[in-house]
C-alpha cells in the first residue's frame, strides 16, 4: 500500500513515453459523440468446457487464422509484426508500461479482448469469446480440459523452447519476449505450485472489495497475477504473454471477475474508476520490486526502442492533465480498431460492448 500511495504523490509518467509523444487530448468520450447504439443480441461468453465442440473448433480455427494472416498496419509492420496476431501482441507490448499497475488495467484488458474479438471477426468468427473458470482447476492446471491437446489449447510446453502441442503447435509469434522481437513458438510452462492462488477463496476476496480502488488491486495482484505465474505463457513474460492464445481465456476470467464485482452494485460501480494512469519508473510494476530499469534487466524485458516510443500513446490522454485514471481516459489499439474511452467499456452490455458471461 505504501508504494501505491507513492504513485499518486510522484505522479510520474514513464518519462521516455511521455517525452516522446505529447498527443492532444482528442477525445473525452462524451463531447459531441453520439450515444452508443443500444445493445441487442448479446454475445454469450461461455466457459470453455461448456461450449459446444463445434463452437470450440470454430474459435480455434479463427485464432489460427488471425495467427497466420499477414499484418496490415504499416507502423506495426515496421516494428516487426508479421501477422495480424503479432499486431495484437505488439499493441500489448507497446502499451505494457501504462496498462499494468494502473487503474486502466481492467478497462484496457476488457478493450483488448474486444480487439481480439474484432480480429477473430475478420476471420469469420461470430461467437463469443471463451473464458476459463480457473477455480475449477486451481492446483491442477496440468489436468485442465483447457490444456487438452485435442479439445483444448495444447498442454504444458516441452523441450528447450517449451513449445506447446495441440492446435497452436507449429505457429510462430514474432513479438517479444519483452521489448525484443524474436520469432518463437507458442510456449508456456505450467506450475501447479502457484495455480492454487487462483482459487475461489481469492476470487471471493476480490469480489468483496468495497470500491474499484481496492477491487482492481485484489484482482491484479491476486488471481490475475498467479494465473500468469502458473502458466508462464510466452517465456513467462508479462509484456508479450498474449502471444499464447490461452492468455485470452485467462483474461476472460479476469474480466468476468471485474464484471461480477461491478454487478454486485451496478448503480455505483458502472462509473467507479480510479488508480494511477501511469506507472512510476521508481516503482515499476507493483508485483515486482525495483523500478522499471531494474525490472527490465531482471525480467529480461529490454527497453522500448525509440521507434516504439514514437507510437506509444500518452498514458494520460483524456485525464485532463491529472495523474488519476478517469472515465474519459482514452485507450488506443494503435489503429487496429478506433480508440475508446474507459467510459465506453464500463458496461459490458452498454452498447459499445454487448456481451455477457454465462
Ligand atoms: C485456496 O488456497 C488456499 C491456500 O493457498 C487455501 O487456504 C484455501 O482453502 C483454498 N480455497 C479453496 C476454496 O480451495
Ligand atoms: Cu496485460
- pLDDT tens column, 37-54: 788 889 999 999 999 999
Interval 150-180: pLDDT, tens: 999 999 999 999 999 999 999 999 999 999 9
Q: How far is the CA of 200 from the centre of ligand 1 (A)?
A: 7
Decide whether any atom of ligand 1 lies within 6 Å of the 139 Cβ: no
Q: What integer pLDDT is reported at residue 289 of this predicted model?
A: 87
Q: Is the CB of 214 under 6 A from ligand 1?
A: no
With a 6 Å cutoff on the Cβ, whether 135 touches ligand 1 is no
How far, in Å, is the centroid of ligand 1 from the Cα of 325?
33
Whether ligand 1 lies within 6 angstroms of the CB of 69 is answered as no
pLDDT of amino acid 33: 59
Tell the residue nearest (CA) to atom 11 of ligand 1.
201
DSSP three-state, residue 112: helix
Proximal ligand: closest to the CA of 254? 2
CB-based contact 195:246 (threshold 8 Å): no
Give the mean pLDDT of 296-307: 93
Q: Tell if the pTM clears 0.75, that is, is over it.
A: yes
Instruction: Tell me which DSSP letter residue 50 carries.
Output: G
For 105-158, the pLDDT digits (tens) are 999 999 999 999 999 999 999 999 999 999 999 999 999 999 999 999 999 999
Query: Which ligand is located closest to the Cα atom of residue 106?
Result: 2
Does residue 15 register a pLDDT over 90?
no
Measured in Å, residue 225 CA sits from the centre of ligand 2 at 10
**Ligand 1 in reach of 191 Cβ (< 6 A):** no
> Structural domains in the chain?
2-357 (1.10.1280.10)
- Of all ligands present, the nearest one to the C-alpha of 139 is 1
Q: Which residue lies with its CA nearest to atom 2 of ligand 1? A: 196
Give the start-end residues of each E strand in the chain: 43-45, 172-173, 184-185, 330-331, 340-341, 355-357
How far apart are the C-alpha atoms of 13 and 19, rounded to whole Å?
Answer: 9
For the cut 60, the answer to whether the pLDDT of residue 330 exceeds it is yes
217-223-224-227 Cα dihedral, nearest 10 degrees:
160
Nearest CA to ligand 1 atom 9: 201
Q: Summarize the chain as % helix, strand, coil (round to 5).
A: 45, 5, 50
Contacts of 90 (CB under 8 A, 6+ apart): 76, 79, 80, 81, 175, 334
Q: How many angstroms separate the CA atoms of 190 and 155, rounded?
A: 8
Amino acid at each position: 500500500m505504501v508504494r501505491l500511495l507513492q504513485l499518486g504523490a510522484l505522479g510520474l509518467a514513464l518519462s521516455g513515453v511521455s517525452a516522446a509523444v505529447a498527443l492532444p487530448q482528442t477525445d473525452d468520450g462524451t463531447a459531441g459523440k453520439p450515444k452508443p447504439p443500444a445493445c441487442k443480441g448479446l454475445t454469450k461468453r461461455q466457459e470453455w468446457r461448456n461450449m459446444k465442440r463445434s463452437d470450440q473448433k470454430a474459435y480455434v480455427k479463427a485464432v489460427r487464422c488471425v495467427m497466420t494472416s499477414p499484418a496490415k498496419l504499416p507502423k506495426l509492420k515496421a516494428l516487426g509484426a508479421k501477422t495480424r496476431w503479432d499486431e495484437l501482441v505488439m499493441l500489448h507490448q507497446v502499451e505494457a508500461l501504462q496498462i499494468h499497475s494502473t487503474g486502466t488495467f481492467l478497462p484496457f484488458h476488457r478493450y483488448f479482448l474486444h480487439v481480439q474479438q474484432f480480429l477473430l471477426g475478420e476471420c469469420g468468427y461470430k461467437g463469443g469469446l471463451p473464458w476459463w473458470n480457473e477455480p475449477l482447476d486451481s492446483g491442477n492446471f496440468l489436468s485442465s480440459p483447457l490444456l487438452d491437446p485435442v479439445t483444448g489449447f495444447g498442454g504444458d510446453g516441452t523441450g528447450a523452447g517449451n513449445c506447446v502441442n495441440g492446435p497452436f503447435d507449429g505457429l510462430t509469434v514474432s513479438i517479444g519476449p519483452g521489448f525484443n522481437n524474436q520469432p518463437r513458438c507458442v510456449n508456456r510452462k505450467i506450475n501447479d505450485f502457484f495455480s492454487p492462488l487462483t482459487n475461489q477463496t481469492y476470487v471471493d476476496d476480490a469480489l468483496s472489495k468495497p470500491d474499484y480502488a481496492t477491487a482492481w488491486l485484489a484482482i491484479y495482484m491476486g488471481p490475475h497475477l498467479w494465473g500468469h505465474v502458473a502458466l508462464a505463457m510466452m517465456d513467462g513474460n508479462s509484456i508479450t504473454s498474449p502471444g499464447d492464445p490461452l492468455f485470452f481465456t485467462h483474461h476472460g476470467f479476469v474480466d468476468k471477475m471485474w464484471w461480477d464485482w461491478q454487478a454486485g452494485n451496478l448503480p455505483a460501480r458502472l462509473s467507479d474508476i480510479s488508480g494511477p494512469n501511469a506507472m512510476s519508473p521508481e516503482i515499476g510494476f507493483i508485483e515486482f520490486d525495483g523500478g522499471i530499469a531494474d525490472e527490465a534487466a531482471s525480467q529480461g524485458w529490454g527497453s522500448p526502442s525509440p521507434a516504439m516510443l514514437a507510437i506509444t500513446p500518452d498514458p494520460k490522454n483524456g485525464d485532463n492533465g491529472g495523474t488519476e485514471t478517469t472515465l474519459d481516459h482514452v485507450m488506443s489499439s494503435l489503429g487496429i480498431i478506433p480508440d475508446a474511452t474507459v467510459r465506453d467499456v464500463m458496461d459490458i452490455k452498454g452498447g459499445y460492448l454487448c456481451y455477457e458471461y454465462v
